[in-house]
Amino acid sequence: MRTFATLVACLTLTACAHGAPASPAPNPTPATNATPAAAQAVAVPETPPAFNASRAMQYVKEIVAFGPRPIGSENHKKVENYILAHLKGDDVEQDNFEVTTSEGKVPVHNIIAKFPGTKDGIIVIASHYDTNWPLRNINYVGANDGASSSALLLEIANQLRGAKRQGYSVWLLWDDAEESMKLPWDDPESLYGVRHIAKKWQDDGTLKKVKAFILEDMIGDADLNVERVTDSTPWLADMVYEAATRVGYQSHFFGREMYVEDDHQPFMQRGVPSTDLIDFDYGYNNVFWHTADDTVDKLSPKSLAIVGTVTLETVRLLDQK
């Protein structure tokens, strides 16, 4: 995820819109004004959606325990197998291919878990699970950047598993080879997994069925403040804020807005309504991002609970569109 060229120049925040400092977000437009379909009244839930934060946090710790997981490494394969083991018995598609990079040929393995619904359409919730190739020789474990969101998806799978859901199908996507093969960030050498799956689904017609793409990234920070990413679909970002308000977590969302290059963009570029849930201020001036200090002690199960609950409530609102 990344607007690297402007990272140092931003004094107040580390991610910027085309070089301009990030700014406080304007008050979000209520989702009821975003689209005619969203204007239909939706009952406030009596209780927030279920989300087991302690179990999600345990998943984070177990992923991090494998160590750095750059693509093509033994640790990467272990994490891949770990995710697949937790999805045993689910409808899982493995999208495996190979790409040629500046570092040579590398395998890329996307994982998609599919949970069917009664409505015709698909909601995709995504996270990358690899760590940064250029940092492979330091103890960079990506606790927040990759592990937290991958664990979040595993816990969401626990909530979706079982009876056919009353709403759209939900597909959980662990996309691979997201991190750039070079630092500073080099866009053509990044996002390999999500670019591939977006094109594949466009070619086979699946993309037409995708009603929304929700990206989770860097969502475990104990000091959680999720950005309003400007390169998102406005009505979907508004719906996320409505969901956060309904479950009482709005103070953790959209206090700032910024442009972020991230996994949602290949879907945005193909016309899929998309949003990026990311806290891109990890430590003062993002000091922990892409360093060996991105460790579990900087995270909080409460943050996982907040983002997980808001994501599930957003899915519920989407089901009623």
Q: What is the pLDDT of residue 314?
A: 97
Domain segments of the chain as ranges: 4-319
Q: What is the pLDDT of residue 16?
A: 32
Q: What is the pLDDT of residue 1?
A: 60
Q: What is the pLDDT of residue 12?
A: 34
Q: What is the pLDDT of residue 25?
A: 57
| Nearest of 54, 10, 49 to residue 244 by alpha carbon | 49
Q: What is the pLDDT of residue 137?
A: 92
Token readout for 178 is 């997201």
Model confidence, pTM: 0.88
CA distance 231 to 259: 6
Q: Are 3 and 260 in contact (CB under 8 A)?
A: yes
Is the bond preceding 184 in cis, omega lying within 30 degrees of 0? yes
Q: What is the pLDDT of residue 185?
A: 77
Q: What is the pLDDT of residue 50?
A: 84
Q: Are 216 and 307 in contact (CB under 8 A)?
A: yes
| Nearest of 174, 175, 66, 127 to residue 311 by alpha carbon | 127
Q: What is the pLDDT of residue 321?
A: 86
- Taking the chain (321 residues) in runs of 10, the rounded mean pLDDT of each run is 41 32 48 37 58 97 98 97 98 97 94 97 98 94 98 97 94 96 84 97 98 98 97 98 97 96 96 98 95 98 98 96 86
3-state DSSP assignment of residue 136: coil
Q: What share of the chain is helix, strand, coil (3-state, %, to 5)?
A: 35, 25, 40
Instruction: For residue 150, count other CB atoms closer than 10 A to its CB.
Output: 24
CATH of domain 4-319: 3.40.630.10
Instruction: For residue 192, count other CB atoms closer than 10 A to its CB.
Output: 25
Q: What is the pLDDT of residue 161?
A: 95
